[in-house]
Amino acid sequence: MTVLDELRAGAEDFLLLIISSPSGAGKTTLCRKLRAEFPSLTFSVSHTTRKPRPGEQDGREYHFVDRPTFERLVEAQAFAEWAEVHGNLYGTSFAEIERARTNEARGIIFDIDYQGARQIRQRVPDAAAVFILPPSFTVLEQRLRNRASDDDETVRRRLAKARTEIEHYALFDYLIVNEDLDRAYDQLRSIVLAEGARRLRKATLAEVLLRTGALPTG
């Protein structure tokens, strides 16, 4: 039984939060704000074959590996999900999820695309999935160009990919338009708070109250 299968079977008070978006829609910034406010949510550091961008560190933003190493991990069934995006491989290892549980986190954030979201939700349908939309393709292109880390061909490829990604919006429970960052973040944090109070995650509290007459404090 894998870690995801165990979560589906019984670890109910543990939030699997999937956050996805086209490149440039603001997902990374929103995830950073979420982690700052909710330290009990662990960020899943994915493996990738792409090269680090300026300022990125191995083991913080991603585990940067070469393609042969990634393919060996696939063969070893080390990933909960993996996909090829923009010519590079990305994957979430089971070890990342186990690390979060070992550290007694209350949940884990997956920064993954729709392909990874589909794979995780096939295993754990109760995972919460959020998709971040740009207000327009014009704004998305401007944001990509303002990053100054991609050449024109890469920007065009990302824009073409964005349409395909948005076409899969129905895989997600929530859609947030990131036109204003603060408003988008308010919606995201509201989702986290609401998901934490869902019956499937809090049913044991009701059972304890019925059985003992009081809930534990603290």
Q: Does residue 204 fall inside a structural domain? A: no
Model pLDDT, residue 30: 95
Confidence (pLDDT) at 109: 95
SS3 string of the chain? CCHHHHHHHCCCCCEEEEEECCCCCCHHHHHHHHHHHCCCEEECCEEECCCCCCCCCECCCEEECCHHHHHHHHHCCCEEEEEEECCEEEEEEHHHHHHHHHCCCCEEEEECCHHHHHHHHHHCCCCEEEEEECCCHHHHHHHHHHHCCCCHHHHHHHHHHHHHHHCCHHHCCEEEECCCHHHHHHHHHHHHHHHHCCHHHHHHHHHHHHHHCCCCCC
Position 215 in a domain? no
Instruction: Name the residue with tokens 């585990």.
Output: 63
How many domains does the chain divide into? 1
pLDDT in tens, the chain (218 residues): 677 777 666 545 789 999 999 999 999 899 999 999 999 999 999 999 999 988 899 998 899 999 999 999 999 999 989 989 888 999 999 998 888 888 888 899 998 999 999 999 988 888 999 999 999 999 999 999 987 777 888 899 999 999 999 999 999 999 999 999 999 999 999 999 999 898 888 888 899 999 999 998 76
Q: For position 14, what pLDDT does the model report?
A: 85
Which domain does 156 fall in, by range? 3-199
- The answer as to whether 210 is a domain residue is no
Q: Give the Cβ contact number of residue 91 at 10 Å.
A: 24
Q: Within 10 Å of residue 161's Cβ, how many Cβ atoms?
A: 15
- Residue 16: which CATH number? 3.40.50.300
